[in-house]
Amino acid sequence: MTTGVWLIGARGNVASISMTGARAIARGVVDSTGMVTAREPMASLDLPAVDDLVFGGHDIREQSIEETVEEANEAGGVPDTKTLDAVREDLREIDERVTMGTARKCGQVVEDLSDDKVTGEGTLDEIVSQIRSDYEAFATEQDIDQLVVVNVASTEPPIKSDTEFDTLDKLETAIEEDDPDLPASSLYAYAALVDERPYVNFTPSTGSALGGLRELAVENNVPHMGRDGKTGETLVKSALAPMFAGRNLQVLSWEGHNILGNSDGLVLEDDANKEGKIESKGNLLEQILGYDHHNAVRIDYTPSLGDWKTAWDHIHFQGFLGTKMKMQFTWEGSDSALAAPLVLDLIRLVTYADEHGEGGEQPQLASFFKSPQGVDEHDLSVQLQKLYDYSERHLNEASPSDEAAE
């Protein structure tokens, strides 16, 4: 079975490093460190092989995937030159399967980054039809058995209200009437789900979170999940906050300051685009701790850092006898190198869910996201247990039939 992967934002940093990593694994240049699905019990599931993934995608820029990876290599050494050289031809081949997408309702800063050939001048119905046609053409030309659509594009501004799209009828009426508030991420999601193609939203953008799209996914029994990949500072928060809760230490304030220099950082300079990211990063603490406290997150664009992100966190907390204490940590990481293996994990796991007829939102994938759809639990250890339990259940269900076959 051939699994196709259609990446929205295919020439961006996260997509480019994801494809570089997949092809480097296939060529034996690197191992699978960083991939959750390389660990047991997930590794024992019959997941699609990373080597066999076939990539294509949409983007709004004409800069090639190879050029994006070269810039990352020169700016921060990720990937290293040996790895890049080993997959250059693969990246060039993939780039021929990337077509222009839409920047509709992605914010002015994203539109300013786009080239003139983007899809977006027509009606919503025309844009959706073109996206569906692009998906189908790729699947046909590459002899794809199942196509997974993954959004790794830059963050959109949040929509004003989602109530006007909270049923499938309302959503499809909005598309027919060319509603000005529907963003690109939701158009890509609709185009996928209506044709029973699994969809993953690795960004804070709206994507498949609309009620109408959730209804469509259930109706068509197709898996989808989001939002916003949990890779750095928020990953640490979701592991650390349960410690304070478990020890009954009262967090008085939690300040986080993030700086990064890639195109995502540039997009987040715009207040409209930044709003959704801030909301996604800040929500989990109150859920884990169970009370309100001073919780501030700041994100600043620092061009010289390239793909490297630094986060400083200052936690002021109170313990026994009213004693006030502090904890501070610094997180420095390559944004795309942290995200890319998770993208590959999600492709494999959502394909597996689809093969097993598990449509709708996928709670076992909650640990991958800052704002997991349909899941209120943000404690990382509890989220991971959902994935382990899911994997063990499938392995146990498979064992009796395997024994009978023998």
**Over the stretch 197-225, which tens digit does the pLDDT of each residue have?**
999 999 999 999 999 999 999 999 999 99
Higher pLDDT residue, 54 or 106? 54
**What pLDDT band is residue 280 in, cutting at 50, 70 and 90?**
low
Average pLDDT over residues 84-97: 98
For residue 3, the cross-strand partners are 146
What pLDDT sits at residue 112?
64
pLDDT higher than threshold 60 for residue 18: yes
CA separation (Å) from 371 to 53, 190, 225, 287, 377?
27, 20, 10, 11, 10
Instruction: Assess contact for 312 and 328: CB atoms under 8 A.
Output: yes
Q: Which residue type is seen at 293? A: H
260-270 pLDDT tens trace: 887 777 666 76
d(CA 111, CA 119): 11
Q: How far apart are CA 216 and CA 293, in angstroms?
A: 38
Polymer length in residues for the chain: 406
The residue ranges of every structural domain in the chain are 3-229+337-390, 233-333
Over 80: is that where the pLDDT of 114 sits? no
Cα 251 → chain centroid: 29
pLDDT score of 282: 63
Q: How far is CA 275 from CA 1, 237, 281, 374, in A?
A: 41, 19, 10, 21
The per-residue pLDDT for 406 is 47
For residue 337, is pLDDT > 70? yes
Asked if the model's pLDDT at residue 107 lies above 90, the reply is: no
As a whole number of angstroms, the distance between CA 375 and CA 118 comes to 35
Q: Does the structure show a pLDDT above 80 at 118?
A: no
Are 62 and 98 in contact, with CB atoms under 8 Å apart? no
Q: What is the pLDDT of residue 327?
A: 98
Q: Mean pLDDT, to the nearest integer, of 261-284?
A: 68
CA-to-CA dists, residue 362 to 36, 149, 150, 315, angstroms: 16, 15, 15, 32
Instruction: Kindly state the percentage of the chain with pLDDT values over 70.
Output: 91
Answer yes or no: is pLDDT of 256 > 80.
yes
Q: In the CATH hierarchy, which top-level class contains the domain 233-333?
A: alpha beta
Helix%, strand%, coil% for the chain, nearest 5: 50, 20, 30
pLDDT tens, residue by residue, 135-155: 999 999 999 999 999 999 988
* One-letter identity of residue 168: L
Tokens (6 digits) for 207: 């994507």
At residue 118, φ and ψ (nearest 5 deg) are: -65, 150
Runs of H (alpha helix) within 159-210: 168-176, 184-193
Which ranges of 10-163 does DSSP label H, i.e. alpha helix? 13-26, 65-76, 81-95, 108-113, 124-141
For residue 306, name the pLDDT band (cuts at 50, 70, 90).
confident
Average pLDDT on 313-339 reads 97
**Mean pLDDT confidence for 97-115:** 79
- Mean pLDDT computed over every residue of the chain: 92
| Cβ proximity of 84 and 20 under 8 Å | yes
What's residue 404's pLDDT? 47
What integer pLDDT is reported at residue 69 of this predicted model? 97
For the ranges 46-55, 70-79, 112-121, 154-163, the maximum mean pLDDT occurs at 46-55
Superfamily of domain 3-229+337-390: NAD(P)-binding Rossmann-like Domain (3.40.50.720)
Which tens digit of pLDDT belongs to each residue from 361-401?
999 999 999 999 999 999 999 999 999 999 999 999 987 65
List all residues 6 or more positions away from 146 whose beta carbon is below 8 Å from its beta carbon: 1, 2, 3, 4, 197, 198, 351, 354, 355
Indicate the range of 42-51, 64-73, 97-106, 310-319 predicted with least confidence: 97-106
Q: What is the mean pLDDT of residues 163-192?
A: 96
Does 352 score more than 50 pLDDT?
Answer: yes
